[in-house]
Amino acid sequence: MPGAVPSSLGTTGSFENTPIFDETGKKPSDVDVQKSLFHKGELSFGVVLGFCTGYLIKKVGKLFALAVGAGFIFLQYMSFKGFITVHWDRLEGGYKRQLNVDENGQVTHKDVRTKWNSLVGILTHNIQFKSTFLVGLYTGIRYG
């Protein structure tokens, strides 16, 4: 019977000439195999979502930096004029409590990396296209 799987391997010990059939009984072509291994829609969807998220993170980060800088200038000006007294040690304590993950009293590169990994974990939770999303995220942050 042509195309049937032999009951024994014979003398060569391989299935080299044995055709592979799909569930419909047809031999899949090379194009069908490539389609199933490479999903262009999923790749582009992940990159687009990642880029948009990275772009948003960069723009919101810039707005946050602008607000913190303007707030600092405002507080310093008001303090300079004698209207208020700023307790910078209390503000620094709140900053350290939020970012000091390993609780060693200092905000280090390791602490920032831990917070970043936490954010990436949240953004990539329960999605199948994590690698393409992360490529898009990096591109959005870098070039956005």
CA–CA separation, 57 and 63 (whole Å): 10
pLDDT in tens, 67-76: 999 999 999 9
User: Residue 122: what residue type?
Assistant: I
Give pTM, 2 decimals.
0.61
Question: What string of DSSP letters covers 69-127?
Answer: HHHHHHHHHHHHHTS----HHHHHHHHHHHH-SS-SSS--HHHHHHHHHHHHHHHTTT-
The pLDDT of residue 10 = 46
